Each structure stands twice: as structure tokens, then as C-alpha cells.
Amino acid sequence: MPITIADFDYIRKLVYDRTGVFLSEEKMYLVESRLGMVAKEAGANSISGLVAELKQIKQQRFNQLHESTVEAMMTNETFFFRDINPFEILKTSVFPELLKQIQGDRTLNIWCAACSSGQEPYSIAMLLREYFPQLARNQVQILGSDISTAMLKRAISGCYAQHEVVRGLPTALLHKYFQQCGKEWQIKEHLRKAIEFRQINLTEPFGSMPQMDIIFLRNVLIYFDVQTKQSILARVRRVLRPKGYLFLGGGETTVNLDPAFELVQFEKGICYRLR
């Protein structure tokens, strides 16, 4: 289904207003390819028909069709132990250091923001159980968040297709922490219960949450403009412990965005801390 410039501009504004994600003109082909299915499911015979319906509904409220349209524009690329170096840094440096700081009932708080279908927080949970079994389960709280209700449902279910579990996940961990359900693999219940999943829009106030020792905000800032990146980092700064760690994607940085953060160099890569 072809898309007109006027319809693209409407979709682009809808996505930006809802998520802060900026779609450049180069993404017009992407919008066109992804909205075809949304239009068909809505009973529209063209993208223009879909946009017309969205405009009509918007006069009343933001509804499920708007959500489906916005979610179709989101990039949900993720896999277990993606870009292995951040997990190596956790294992060899960050976790050993943070464990020394835990006293009494002190809880280790970890937040995976924009976690998509949940592979990242589950990877961290497996890492903890494999290398730091001395941590009692009530000493660690892992929060996974995303803006997409569809992705959060998948994350909560912990069900993944064969091609998803063979991508980045060692076979030993697959057999230890998953059970086969038909053609899919499901995270075992004890690991699913170890993670809280919550819908959070990074461009809006985060709501109530504890001070975080570790925040994974990886491969998401690249989709925002400078002003939105700065506002997100400002909110992240307020929920990160003074000695906590912020992990970004390989192509992301706080440099020239927020001077409150400083780069920390490890053998396997980098992350950021508050100055």
C-alpha cells in the first residue's frame, strides 16, 4: 500500500507525540511497509483510509487503533545476551563491586528500559543465578519496561520461538532455564517470577520506582532527537544511585548530552556513572 507525504507526516507526528521517536523522511518506506497490515486488520483498503479513520477517532480519544499504529512503527530487535560485552562487564566487574555494598536488607535494583520482548532482563537473571548464587532472591529486584503492550505480554509469558532461543543463548542455559511448549520454549516459572514487567513511556515521568544500581538503556536513544535524549537522561539521572551504572548501546553516549555522567572504561567495554 503506497503512502502519501501528507499521511506520512500525520503518522510521523502521531508517533513522535506518543513516544518521542522521530521518523525521518528516509523512514517513509518503513512506515509504508509496516502500516499495510495495520490497515488491513482495521478494514481499510489503503493507508490513506487508515489515516482518515485515525483522524476521526482522535477527535474523541487515543484508542487501540492508534496504539496498534504506533507499535507497528517501533523497532523491537533484541536477543539473549545481545552484544555480550555488557554482560561480561556485569559478571567480572560491576556485580562483584555492588555485592560488597549490599548490607543487611539492602536490595540490588536493576532496570532494563525498553526491554522489548524481555530477552535482556532474562539474560541478566540467568547471569546472576549462574555466577552469583549467594544472592538471595529477595536481594535482587529486576524491572523490565517497554512502551509496547504487545511486547510486554510476550515478555511476561516468557515464550520464545526456536530461532529466538538459538540466537545468543548458550545451549546449557536453554536446557537449564527453559521448558519446551510445543514449538516454543518458555522460561521456567521461577525465573519469570524474578522479574517485574511494567509499561513505561521513556518520554513521560517514570512513576514510582526505587533507586537503581544498574540501568540498561541500550539501543533506544538512537531513535530520539537531541532534546528528547536529554530529557530522558535527566529522568534516568534521578533514579540512578550515586554509585550506580548506566549501560547504553554501542552507538550511544551521554557525551554532549548530559554532563552529569562520566564514562567508565572496562576491559570489555564502557558504561557510565554519575560524576
Please check the confidence at residue 176 and state whether its pLDDT lies above 90: yes
User: Tens digit of pLDDT for each residue in 4-22?
Assistant: 999 999 999 999 988 888 8
Check: CB of residue 220 under 8 Å from CB of residue 202: yes
Q: What is the chain's mean pLDDT, rounded? A: 91
pTM here?
0.88
The C-alpha cell that represents 86 in the structure block: 555488557
User: Domain residue spans in the chain?
Assistant: 5-72, 85-274
The phi, psi pair for 75, rounded to 5°, reads: -95, 120
Given the candidates 2.40.160, 3.30.530, 3.30.70, 1.10.155, the CATH classification of the domain at 5-72 is 1.10.155
- Taking only the tens place, the pLDDT of each residue in 191-206 is 999 999 999 999 999 9
Q: Name the fold adopted by 85-274.
A: Rossmann fold (3.40.50)
Euclidean distance between the first and the last CA atom of the chain, given in angstroms as a whole number: 50
Which residues make Cβ contacts (< 8 Å) with residue 254, sequence separation at least 6? 233, 246, 248, 261, 263, 272
